[in-house]
Amino acid sequence: CYQEALELAREMNYREALPYCLVAVGETAREEKNYREAQVLLEEALEIVREGGEKFKEAEILTSLGKVAVALH
């Protein structure tokens, strides 16, 4: 479901939804221990929310990236 939403957001260039979809798929990847995939997705989401100035979402993504970093080390 999240993967399909991400694909649609990309196809439609729906920038407002894209970071939320990226985080959802990234979090799923992290939970499945696909840490590199999670990192790539979360970093892409972080870049988009920083462009939009969404500080709360930025903090949420940084927290998730921290969890990925801990798991990788």
Q: Is the pLDDT of residue 2 over 90?
A: no
> Residue 8 and residue 48: Cα distance in Å, rounded?
17
Give the number of C-alpha atoms closer than 13 A to the C-alpha of residue 22, restricted to the C-beta side: 25
- pLDDT greater than 90 at residue 67: yes
pLDDT, tens digit (0-9, with 9 covering 90-100), for 56-65: 999 999 999 9
pLDDT in tens, 13-55: 888 899 999 999 999 999 999 999 999 999 999 999 999 999 9
pTM: 0.90
Residue 48: its pLDDT value, please?
95
